[in-house]
Amino acid sequence: MDLLKADDLRMTSKEIAELTGKRHDNVLRDCDTLNANYLKMSLLKIEEEYFPHPSGNGQAIRKMHLTKMQVFDLMTGYNTALRIKVNRRWEELENEKQQRFQIPQTLSGALMLAAKQAEQIEKQQAVIEESKPKVEFADAIMCSDDSISIAIMGKMIGIGEKTLFQKLRDDNILSDNRWGNRWNTPYQKYIDAGYFELTEKPWQNEQRSGISFQTKITTKGQAWLAKKY
């Protein structure tokens, strides 16, 4: 059984052939004869479909889709036993459709339907509650104009400063070169992408002086990292 539309039952010529024991090409021939009569009477013709042959030989397989009235018109020329078989099949199909869309007629049926709907609502609400902290976090960083440190970011996403530093180094976002003053600083492409800001801070002691770098995460970077980790 094929459905061309969700609310429009159709029976295919192939199924009719299987039910009646006729060859499919003979059923197609009978459908063509019926269509010729429909054309003369200005009635809706039987819809047909072509699809590739499974063997891939370039040939097309033809199949017709008949409405209930078209099936009955077709079966008029068949014997009584075959008409009964097809009529019973239509009854089964209509019963199946009715069961799918049936409105509960009893209190117990209505209560069961309400219970199923309530269960679906509870599952949806659970998903909403689970997503709520992430939504609140996203709203907070979108409303903020401030860059933050990696330490604060680690706390905000619940993995801690050390773990976040390690993840950023493992993913080649921060430099893992311990020599010089570039340890734990972002690579240039991530700065260019607007995820990080790098500030310089001069320092000096009795023996020497130099420049240290401080990495800050922009609001864009906060959203990116929250999604990533």
Q: Pull the structure tokens for residue 157.
A: 């996403």
Whether residues 25 and 96 fall in one domain: yes
Write the CA distances from 99 to 88, 90, 104, 105, integer angstroms. 17, 14, 10, 12
pTM of the model: 0.38
Whether residues 27 and 95 fall in one domain: yes
Which domain does 113 fall in, by range? Answer: 105-143
Whether residues 124 and 158 fall in one domain: no
Alpha carbons 201 and 213: distance in angstroms, whole number: 6
Domain boundary among 100, 128, 162: 100
| Mean predicted confidence (pLDDT) in 194-199 | 88
Quick one: pLDDT band at residue 124, thresholds 50, 70, 90? confident
Question: What does DSSP say about strands 196-204 and 209-217: parallel, antiparallel, or unpaired?
Answer: antiparallel
Angle at which helices 80-100 and 13-20 pack, to 10 degrees?
130
How many structural domains are present in the chain?
Answer: 3
Whether residues 47 and 131 fall in one domain: no
Is the predicted pLDDT of residue 57 greater than 90, yes or no? no
Amino acid 52 reads P
| Mean predicted confidence (pLDDT) in 132-144 | 55
Is the predicted pLDDT of residue 102 greater than 60, yes or no? no
What's the length of the chain?
A: 229
Alpha carbons 124 and 220: distance in angstroms, whole number: 29
Whether residues 92 and 175 fall in one domain: no
Whether residues 159 and 88 fall in one domain: no
Q: Pull the structure tokens for residue 111.
A: 């209560």
Question: What does DSSP say about strands 47-52 and 60-66: parallel, antiparallel, or unpaired?
Answer: antiparallel
Domain boundary among 92, 125, 143: 143
